[in-house]
Amino acid sequence: MDGLRFAPANEAPWDDLQAILTGAAGRCQCQRQRLGDHDWWYMPEAERAAILQAETHCGDPRATETIGIVAYQHDEPVAWCAVDRRSVYGRLRGSPVPWQGRDEDPDDDSVWAIACMVVRKGHRGAGLTYPLVAAAAEHARSRGASAVEGYPMLTDGKKVIWDEMSVGAVGPFLAAGFQEVTHPTKRRLVMRLDFLGNGG
């Protein structure tokens, strides 16, 4: 896509990330997957935002840790993807979806997960999640991941509200080389990309 680039969140200004996180995403502040439903539900929105700001280290390019990537098109912030070690996502750890039908160690920090994607309103429907998933996978690989997983939704051609699609659709994961691992529910898949040479 013309003019599209990706930056680790610590290299993006905080205001750019907040320009993407509006509506339900603004209320969530990308904390529900990390905290789990119970802790997230009772936490004020401002506190969620403070945690996200601390986790991303937005605006600090010298930081060695961050938890996602920001997409820019012609220098305008257009999308966000949360990608980090799978073990840090409390909601994933407490859900049967990632673990059903396979023997996985939830504490294996070498496996990363794409937990959430948000495309800024006004830029949706342009196919941005395809390069976003590929860039998130490369971000994980470059930081030593042996594999990265996603938990996308099957839409069966039906229109799905954007907030529900924060986990992504299957197509972008297939295009990035992910393969289906399990099909634990009618609408959700577990997909995975292993990185040869990174211990995977």
SS3 annotation, the chain:
CCCEEEEEHHHCCHHHHHHHCCHHHHHHCCCHHHHCHHHHHCCCHHHHHHHHHHHHCCCCCCCCCCCEEEEEECCEEEEEEEEEEHHHCHHHHCCCCCCCCCCCCCCCCCEEEEEEEEECCCCCCCCCHHHHHHHHHHHHHHCCCCEEEECCECCCCCCCCHHHHHHCEHHHHHHCCCEEEECCCCCECEEEEECCCCCC
Please report whether residue 123 resides in a domain: yes
Instruction: Report the pLDDT averaged over residues 59-81.
Output: 96
Query: What's the pLDDT score for residue 122?
Result: 86
Residue 200 resides in a domain: no
For residues 10 and 70, what is the distance between their CA atoms, to the nearest angstrom?
A: 9
Provide the percentage of residues in the chain whose pLDDT is more than 90: 78
Residue 193 scores a pLDDT above 60 = yes
Residue 74 has pLDDT above 80, yes or no: yes
* Confidence at residue 160, expressed as pLDDT on a 0 to 100 scale: 64
pLDDT at 124: 86
Q: What is the mean pLDDT of residues 2-7?
A: 92
- Residue 95 within a domain: yes
Q: Is the pTM of this model over 0.85?
A: yes
Confidence at 156, pLDDT banded by 50, 70, 90: confident
199 domain-assigned = no
Q: Specify the number of domains making up the chain.
A: 1
Looking at the predicted structure, is the pLDDT value of residue 159 above 80?
Answer: no
CATH number at 15 reads 3.40.630.30
Q: Which domain holds residue 66?
A: 4-194
Degrees, nearest 5: CA angle 167-111-36: 50
Domain annotation covers residue 98: yes
Q: What's the pLDDT score for residue 1? A: 67
| Residue 47 forms part of a structural domain | yes
Residue 145 lies in a domain: yes
The answer to whether residue 39 is domain-embedded is yes
